[in-house]
């Protein structure tokens, strides 16, 4: 019975793991900068473009929504994100702006 409880605790911890746990935020930032991802954000929001992430009515409320938005934006720029690109870019954006649980 103790083994079952231990397994349950492990599974519960895994379910609450940070989104983009397989990503590298530093690599994600380099990808973001290299591909000029902020160009559209600056055009839309002005300033340094970060307002797109911090506005009260931002669209992203979950890791899944962030992946959808990243793919939408990258598609507009003609970039196809690999699964690892999603993890790295998501890790960067989440660490810097979103702070998703």
How would you write the pLDDT of the chain (101 residues) with one tens digit per residue?
455 444 444 444 444 568 999 999 999 999 999 999 999 999 999 999 999 998 888 889 999 999 999 999 999 999 999 999 999 999 999 999 999 98
The SS3 assignment for 24 reads: coil
CA angle 57, 61, 62 (to 5 degrees): 165
The pLDDT, as a whole number, for residue 59 is 84
Q: Which of 43, 27, 40, 13 is nearest to 85 (CA)?
A: 27
- Identify whether 1 is part of a domain: no
pTM above 0.85, yes or no: no
- Identify whether 90 is part of a domain: yes
- Identify whether 9 is part of a domain: no
Look at the chain and count its residues: 101
The pLDDT, as a whole number, for residue 58 is 82
* Range(s) of the domain holding residue 82: 19-98
- Identify whether 7 is part of a domain: no
- Identify whether 3 is part of a domain: no
- Structural domains in the chain (count): 1
Q: Which of 66, 72, 51 is nearest to 101 (CA)?
A: 66
Q: Which of 89, 41, 33 is nearest to 63 (CA)?
A: 89
């Amino acid at each position: 019975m103790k083994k079952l409880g231990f397994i349950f605790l492990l599974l519960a911890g895994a379910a609450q793991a940070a989104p983009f746990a397989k990503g590298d935020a530093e690599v994600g930032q380099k990808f973001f900068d290299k591909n000029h991802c902020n160009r559209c954000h600056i055009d839309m929001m002005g300033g340094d473009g970060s307002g797109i992430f911090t506005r009260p009515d931002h669209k992203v409320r979950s890791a899944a929504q962030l992946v959808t938005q990243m793919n939408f934006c990258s598609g507009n720029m003609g970039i196809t994100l690999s699964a690892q690109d999603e993890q790295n870019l998501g890790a960067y954006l989440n660490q810097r702006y979103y702070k998703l649980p």
